[in-house]
Structure 1
Amino acid sequence: MSADGTFIRAFIEAQDVAVFSGRPASYPGYINADHVPHNPYFYGISPTDLTTGFSSHSIIRLDNTGPDTYTATLCRRQSVNPLNKESLSVDIEWLTYHHQGASPPSNQHGPRNAPSNNVFGGWYATKHDFDYTTPKHDVCADTPIDRGHTPTPGWPTTTTGDL
């Protein structure tokens, strides 16, 4: 996985953690990498609101949109709810981020559910949009669904990777 892949994956996972558990409880370095204006509705979930399910993302496009600026288009397939019943939704997301400073480490995989150190480098995101309004099954038809309850491919025990 490239440095861009690491950043995109880490940001999306870390934002999900932040929404459900608060920004300070998210991945190391997330607060510095997160320059996205937040919708209070999504950040108003109480930690006592137990939800279960999965959220599977696939990058379907990556565009260079300016100097050191990129926009990733992702397909998200998820079922997250308090009922522990599958209720699949398919959405498109766009994440705009900036290469500044140190690059995130590449080739991040291993046995951990979350990174133990900052995997964002000096990069940061400024925009994260969603399209919930129109069905996206046709756009996301060839993207895999990972129904696992832990991140895949996992995170290494160190940011230099598991050997």
Structure 2
Amino acid sequence: MTPDGTFIRAFEESETIGELGGGIGSVYPGFSTANRGAINPGIFNTDLQLGAPTAYFGLGGVDDLPDGSTRATICYWDSGTQDKWSFLYYHREGTTPQTNQSGPARRPSANVFGDWYATKEEAAPPNSVAAEQCQHTAPVNPSKAGQPSPPPSPGWPR
């Protein structure tokens, strides 16, 4: 996995955990610093009792923009909602996130964002280029609601 993959994955997983009931205290180490206005932590909910849907993320593409930022097309599926796509805008500055972050852990134990930071995330319209890009990364057999979650893949190092 590339530094971009590590950053994007950690950011999206943290956001999802925070939104689905974990609150700001459940996000990955370093998320609060890496999030510079992309996500309003006020949307994180500690009262939600949704359970833990199995989430699948894909990467539709990564584009360098003229202003020096980078835009990632994020593809998202879970066992409880319909497909969603978004654009994450971030900056590659300072220390680079580590590559090849995988292992048996469900979450990283230390900051995996490096010094990179995200400034904006926006939903992509259903008929946008994101929908087309994400068709190619859809999971083949996603878990359905009520099924046990598979082990984390690729997981995080201990």
Length-normalised TM-score, structure 1: 0.78
SS at match of 1:58: strand
For residue 136 of structure 2, the aligned residue among 127, 138, 142 is 142
**More off after superposition, 141-150 vs 69-78:** 141-150
In structure 2, C-alpha distance between the alignment counterparts of 1:4 and 1:138, rounded to whole Å: 21
For residue 104 of structure 2, the aligned residue among 102, 111, 114 is 111
In structure 1, C-alpha distance between the alignment counterparts of 2:150 and 2:122, rounded to whole Å: 24
Is the CA contact (8 Å cut-off) linking 1:57 and 1:76 kept in structure 2? Answer: yes
**Post-superposition CA distance 1:45-102 (Å, at most 9, x none):** 334523232221111111001454100012211233xxxxxxx511211100101110
Indicate how the Cα distance of structure 1 residues 51 and 98 shifts in structure 2: closer, same or farther if over 3 A, else same.
same
Q: What percent of counterpart residues are identical?
A: 32
SS at match of 1:89: coil
Alignment gaps of 5+ in structure 2: 144-148
Asked whether 1:60 is paired with 2:60, we answer yes
Asked whether 1:124 is paired with 2:117, we answer yes
Corresponding residue of 2:16: 16
Aligned AA (1:8) = I
Number of paired residues? Answer: 148
Task: Give how far 1:119 is off.
Answer: 0.1
SS at match of 1:52: coil
Of Structure 1 and Structure 2, the greater helix share is in 2
Alignment gaps of 5+ in structure 1: 81-87, 158-163
SS at match of 2:4: helix
Length-normalised TM-score, structure 2: 0.81
**More off after superposition, 5-14 vs 135-144:** 135-144
Across the aligned residues of Structure 1 and Structure 2, the Cα RMSD in angstroms comes to: 2.4
Of Structure 1 and Structure 2, the greater strand share is in 1
Structure 1: which 4+ aligned runs deviate by more than 6 Å?
A: none
